[in-house]
Structures are given as C-alpha cells and as structure tokens.
Amino acid sequence: MINKLGKQIVDIGTVTPSQVAEVLQSIKYGNNINEIMSKIAEITDKNVEDIYEMFEEVAKLNQNYTKQFYEYKKVNFIPYDQNKALQEQVKSIAKATANEYINMSKTFAYMRYNSEGIKEFTSISNIYQKVTDEAILSVVQGRSSYQTAMQKAMREITSNGLKTVDYATGYSRRADSSVRMNIMDGIRRLNRELQESFGKEFGADGVEVSHHKNSAPDHIDTIDGKQFSLNGKVMIKGINYQDYNTVNNSLKRHVGELNCYHFVYSVVLGISNPLYSKEQLEADKKVNEEGFEYEGKHYTMYEGTQLQRQIETKIRQYKDKQIGAKVINDTEEIYHCQEKIRQLTQKYKELSDISGLPSKIDRLRVEGYKKVK
C-alpha cells in the first residue's frame, strides 16, 4: 500500500507554477485508492480461513485437557471429530472473531497533525488527497520545490502508519497490533466458553488459572497459577479454596481481558493437582521481581517485556517510513530510517541478551521491507 501511494505521488509529475494543469493527474488516482481498499478486503477474507483452522486446533487442545475429568466422572466423552455440537460452537466463535476482524479494516485511518498542531484521523483516500493538495499548493505558491514537497508528503503518510481507530474515544492502535490483539481476544473467548461448556458436562466444581512467567503485578499474587472454587469458599482435603468470581470481580483487569495472557480451565477440586506447585510459582515470581538492570535503571521482567513491545513498535514504524522513502528515492530519509532501524534493533538485542527475555522476531517483520546498506 505504501509503495502504491508513493508511486502515485511521484507520478503526479514535476510541478512548477507554469505547469499547474499537470497536477490534475492526481484526480485519476481516486480509483487506485479504491484498489488499495479492495486489496485490504481481499486479504482480510483470505485470513478468515486461517482463523477457522487456528480455532479448531485450540478447541482440540482444550478437549484433550478435559478428557481426564470425563473419565473420572464416568461421563461420555465424544472426540472433537465426532462432536457436531462442539464443532458448531467453535465455528460460531471463530465467525464472530472473523467479523470483528473484517469490521476492523473499515476503521483503518491515518493519524496526522493539522496546521494548528492538533491530532486528527482521516481515511486513506482523504489523507492522500490532503497531503498531495498541500504539496501542490506549496509548489504553486513557490514555497518549496516539487522534490521537497513530495518528500514532505511521503514522510507524513508514513510517519504514524495505518491505524485502527475507535472514533468514539479517538484512541488508535497500529493496524498490525490491532489484528494481533483481535485474534488473541478471540482465542481467549474460545478457551473461556469451551471450558465453561466442558465443565458443565463433567460437573466441574472449580477452575484453575493458567500460569505464565513475567506476569503483571495485578495478577501475579491474585490469580496466576491458582485453583479456585465455583461454589464460594470451601475446604477440600485440607486445602482452602477461594471463590473464583469474588476474586476475579475484585480485579481491575478480569482474567483474560485487556491483553491478559491468562486462561481458565475447568477442574474437579481435590482430583486435579495444580499444573504448577507453590514452589514453582514462588520461584518464577522471585525471578520476575529481581529483574535486571538496563541503562542505569532497574526493571522487573514484566516491565522488560513492555519495553520490548515499545521497541518492536518503533522498529516497525521506521520500516514503514523506509519503504515510503525508497519509493520516492528520498535518499536522506532512507538512510536516516535505516540507521534508526539499526540502532533500535541493536537496542532490542542488547535488552533481550541482558534480561534473558526471548526475542519476538516475528513482531519486527513488515511486509515489503528490505534492508539497504
């Protein structure tokens, strides 16, 4: 998309005050903008099939985990391939996630700052029209050369990248980040509903919250890796279990919401031993809190993961800008972006090496980016 926008800006032609008529070429590019939007819709439709396949795998993993409880309670267990009701349930949730994914593409917009310095969001076609109009006007009025105006226009288009926007609040997020969050939210919803459904079938009286390393401060002591009762506070085989709904409702971020990575599994209390012992949970908590020192500051491991996400986003932003600069042959911007990418990538590697946190290389990828020496 950036390549096509850049080519359109270049193809307007070299404009001087005596050649204003040539700028009318820009009008014909309205169809090309529509072509870009059609391509986004086409890619979205293709990815819907990927969502179905992914959700089926998640469903099978969930069912394999719960099989032990069906056997313990002597309840009939129907494998996924034969379980038509379960297949329909998975399809229903996958379809809802896919629809949200498709609707998201309709909120794609660019962020820019207007002449008063106020942030505003606008559609792809409008941002193209605005930046080209301003560039043309600048040339016609003799305020800048065409080359300078073209570079400014392209830099503006790539500065903040394509975003999805909640127009009610004005909140925005990069499109790639939004897609990732949309899919993860769908998977969490699928896990939650499947576990509730399985739990009712085999008579679950409790839940276990999954454990992951480097948990956020609000969840590490409250729910991470713990088992809870679904019937109020109870004691079973000498173990006190807190009521899950009471604990979950006391949290500002409920389990599995607002980018929480935790999942809930239905269990039979006293039968299913927790997947992680108290000793293991305490050991991971200690490692999280001890953290590491980086650039003269102490970070918990959780804070380190948040710093990683920030650097990953910046790297993707500069890769977007480098792609746009290459299209219009803006040599200065190309090397500026490439140097920033090099510095940020080096910082990302240093952070990962010092902290011991795993690198998420897939989060650095940008379609169409190629490194220049």
Q: Tens of pLDDT along 107-139? A: 777 777 777 878 777 777 777 777 777 777 777
pLDDT category at 287 given cuts 50, 70, 90 is very high
Cα end-to-end span (Å), the chain? 24
What is the reported pLDDT for 359? 92
Better pLDDT: 145 or 72: 72
Q: Are 284 and 211 a contacting pair, CB within 8 Å?
A: yes
Which of 185, 169, 24 shows the shortest CA–CA distance to 93? 185
Position 24 pLDDT exceeds 60:
no
CA dist., res. 153 & res. 145, Å (int): 12
Asked if pLDDT for residue 56 goes beyond 70, the answer is: yes
Distance CA 146, CA 137 (A): 10
Range 30-52 average pLDDT: 77
Over residues 308-345, the pLDDT tens digits come to 999 999 999 999 999 999 988 899 999 999 999 999 99
* Per-residue model confidence (pLDDT) at position 264: 92
Instruction: Say whether 58 sits in a helix, a strand or coil.
Output: helix
Give the confidence band of 27 by pLDDT, cuts at 50, 70, 90: low
Confidence of residue 4 (pLDDT cuts 50, 70, 90): confident
Q: What average pLDDT does this structure show over 146-159?
A: 81
Q: Are 261 and 218 in contact (CB under 8 A)?
A: no
Cα Rg, the chain, nearest whole Å: 26
pLDDT tens by residue, 155-212: 888 877 777 776 666 677 888 888 888 888 888 889 889 999 999 999 999 999 999 9
Spatial CB neighbours of 91, under 8 Å, sequence gap ≥ 6: 52
- For residue 251, give the 3-state DSSP assignment: coil
Q: Which of 83-92, 123-132, 244-253, 330-339 has the lowest mean pLDDT?
A: 123-132
Task: Please tell me the predicted confidence (pLDDT) of residue 17.
Answer: 54
pLDDT reported for residue 210:
92
DSSP 172: E
pLDDT reported for residue 51: 86
Give the pLDDT confidence score for residue 126 in this predicted structure: 78
- Between CA 198 and CA 90 the distance in angstroms is 13
The answer on pLDDT for 293 being more than 60 is yes
Computed over every residue of the chain, the mean pLDDT equals 86
Residue 16 pLDDT:
57
Q: Determine the residue type at 42.
A: E
149: nearest Cα among 161, 164, 139, 163: 139
9: Cβ–Cβ under 8 A, 6 or more apart, which residues? 131, 132, 135, 150, 153, 154, 328
User: What share of the chain in percent tops pLDDT 70?
Assistant: 93
pLDDT band, very low/low/confident/very high, at 154 (cuts 50, 70, 90)? confident
From CA 137, how far away is CA 153, in angstroms rounded? 12
Instruction: For residue 275, report the phi and psi dihedrals to the nearest 5 degrees.
Output: -65, -25
pLDDT per residue as tens digits for the range 353-366? 999 999 988 899 98
Sign of the dihedral defined by the CA atoms of residues 268, 272, 278, 281, in that order: negative
- The pLDDT value recorded for residue 150 is 80
Main-chain phi, psi angles of 177, to 5 degrees: -65, -40
At residue 354's C-alpha, the angle toward residues 352 and 355, to 5°, is: 65
In this structure, what is the dihedral angle of CA atoms 62, 68, 71, 76, given to the nearest 10 degrees?
Answer: 0
Give the pLDDT mean for 135-156: 79
